[in-house]
Structure 1
Amino acid sequence: MEQHDIGRRLATPLMNPAYPPVVPRFTDREYLTIVYRTDRDALRAVVPEPLEIDEPLVRFEVMRMGDVTGYGPYTEAGQAIPVRHRGERGEYLHAMYLDNFPATASGREAGAYPKTIGAPALYVDHGALVGVLDHGTLRVATATMGYKHHELDPDEAAAQITVPTFMLKLVPGYDGTPRTAQLVRTEISDVVVKGAWTGPARLQLFAHVLAPLADLPVREVVSASHVVTDLTLSPVTPVHDYLAH
């Protein structure tokens, strides 16, 4: 293979890249989202400057992807933290756990999503919408919400999932020193809300050294939502270079 051909390749392995060269469109993406209050000091320990914290809130979510261009169906769970950056309100993506390796590799390499492998699930059980996350054989999160108790305004649902999101892009050099250390920004576009509901909810987090969601403890459940939507993810844009500072 000639040098100019290698430069056109997207990812390794060279002849069978870990993820396809597509801009994924999500169809029938289903969210269970629980916003809860946590300890301010715990948030300060994990939210990187120059992001700023207002209220000590966390959004725990489980997302079942009905169909994704290039990846097929999969499920994802994680935590996002409401923040401000230069006056703009958004969310810092703290942790994401997936059961799909190509989507995990693509999110980390082509974007900056803090993705790792886990075993999340979203299902209905005797009138409750249930979202769980396991790491290996151990349960690390269980979320429950009354199934479709009250309709949620579609505009409010769209506003919940289209706030700008911020992430850390960290790439080490071959000598172990940082090669890339950036704060990046992205957002969701082309949203079609197909259904949205709210209702009572509960959330339990269990301590695990390799999935430390419980380091942001649940003090009070603030709100919950269940949303079904189609959407597209925009490319990331660097907004702060740590190595330049």
Structure 2
Amino acid sequence: MKAEDVRRRLSTPLTGPAFPPMSPRFTDREYLNIVYRTDPEALRAVVPEPLEIGEPLVRFEVMRMGDVTGYGPYTEAGQAIPVSFEGERGEYLHAMYLDNFAATASGREVSAYPKTTGSPRLYVDHGALVGTLDYGSLRVATATMGYQHRALDLDEARAQITVPTFMLKIVPGYTGRPRVSELVRTEITDVTVKQAWTGPARLQLFEHVLAPLADLPVRQIVSASHILTDLTLAPVRPVHDYLKETS
């Protein structure tokens, strides 16, 4: 294989890449979102500067991807934290757990999504929308919401899921020191909201050393939504370089 062919490759293994070289399109992406109030001190311990925290809120999400080009269906769960950066409001993506290796590898390598393996589920059970997350054989989160209790305004639903998102891109170097350490920004584009609902909700988080969602404890449920969409993820762009601070 010639050097120019190697330079065109996006990921390893060289002859069987872990993910396809494409920007995926999500069709029938289904969200269960529960926004809750937590401890301010817990948020300050995990949100990196220069992001700023306002109200001590967290959004727990479970997303069932009905059809994704390049990856197929999969499910994902995690936590996002409302923040601001240079006056722009958005969310810091704190943790993401999913059951698809290609989407995990692509999210981490091409972008900066904090993805790792887990076993999330989203389903309906006796009139409740249920989202769960298992890490290995242990349950770490259970969310329930009344199934389609009240319609949610589609513009409000679109606003919920299209806020800018911020993430950390950390790539280690061969000496053990970071080669890349950046705060990056992205957003959802080309969105079609098909259905949106709200209703009562509950959320339980369980202690686990390798899936520490409960480090941001639930103090009060603020809101919940159930949204069905088609969308595309925009490429990330760096907005802050941590390594320049020390150079």
The alignment's TM-score, normalised by the length of structure 2, stands at 0.99
C-alpha distance in 2 between matches for 1:3 and 1:74: 35
Alpha-carbon displacement from aligned partner over 1:31-88 (angstroms, at most 9, x marks no partner): 0000000000000000000000000000000000000010000000000000000000
C-alpha distance in 1 between matches for 2:40 and 2:107: 28
C-alpha distance in 1 between matches for 2:153 and 2:189: 18
Q: Which amino acid aligns with 1:200?
A: P
1:120 Cα deviation (Å)?
0.1
Q: Which residue of 1 aligns with 2:34?
A: 34
Q: Which residue of 2 aligns with 1:112?
A: 112
Give matches, 1:87-166, under 5 Å. 87-166=87-166
C-alpha distance in 2 between matches for 1:138 and 1:2: 47
Q: Which residue of 1 aligns with 2:244?
A: 244
The aligned length equals 245
Q: Is 1:182 paired with 2:182?
A: yes
Q: Which amino acid aligns with 1:176?
A: G
Q: Which amino acid aligns with 1:77?
A: A
* Secondary structure in structure 1 of the residue aligned to 2:89: strand
Unaligned runs of 5+ in 1: none
C-alpha distance in 2 between matches for 1:72 and 1:184: 26
1:170 Cα deviation (Å)?
0.3
C-alpha distance in 1 between matches for 2:193 and 2:105: 28
Q: Which amino acid aligns with 2:11?
A: A
Unaligned runs of 5+ in 2: none
C-alpha distance in 2 between matches for 1:24 and 1:181: 25
C-alpha distance in 1 between matches for 2:85 and 2:31: 25
* Secondary structure in structure 2 of the residue aligned to 1:7: helix
Q: Which amino acid aligns with 1:217?
A: P
Q: Is 1:45 paired with 2:16?
A: no
C-alpha distance in 2 between matches for 1:8 and 1:128: 48
C-alpha distance in 2 between matches for 1:179 and 1:9: 20
1:22 Cα deviation (Å)?
1.0
* Secondary structure in structure 1 of the residue aligned to 2:208: coil
Q: Which amino acid aligns with 1:138?
A: L
Segments of 4+ moved more than 2 angstroms: none
